[in-house]
Structure 1
Amino acid sequence: MNEQLTSVTLELKTPTVTREVACAIRKHGEHIASIAGYNCPLADLMSTIASDLDARAKEMEAELREPEEEEEQC
């Protein structure tokens, strides 16, 4: 039972952690851009990575909601 609760807790936290990582990457990219100039390939890459992580976090949240919707239909 405890393992199941831990698993559910980790699943629920995963999208949040992913968003926090995306935010940190985006902030570092903005900092690099402010130092190197706004035409900086590394900053652009970091922004793209952050956007991809945000999209993945949304997908994870949708996946977590799907089982609940299936249970309601039964």
Structure 2
Amino acid sequence: MNSYGQEMFIDAHSQAVWPEVWTLYRRALQIIGRPIPTLIEWDTNIPPLGILLEDAQKAQHFLEVIHA
């Protein structure tokens, strides 16, 4: 919680994308109303390539479903 009593997420770029962040991402795509380039960034604790590709596919899926 921040000083205003609101829940806050901090992206350290060192762990998997949280489900709540995927929810925010989907909502942002709906609000923006058009497909936008998306970057899933890892600075440390970089996972195996398969996990990175799964995240990329998940983001692509959301782009395609919301902007079909």
Give me the TM-score of the superposition, normalised by structure 2.
0.37
Q: Which has the larger radius of gyration?
A: 1
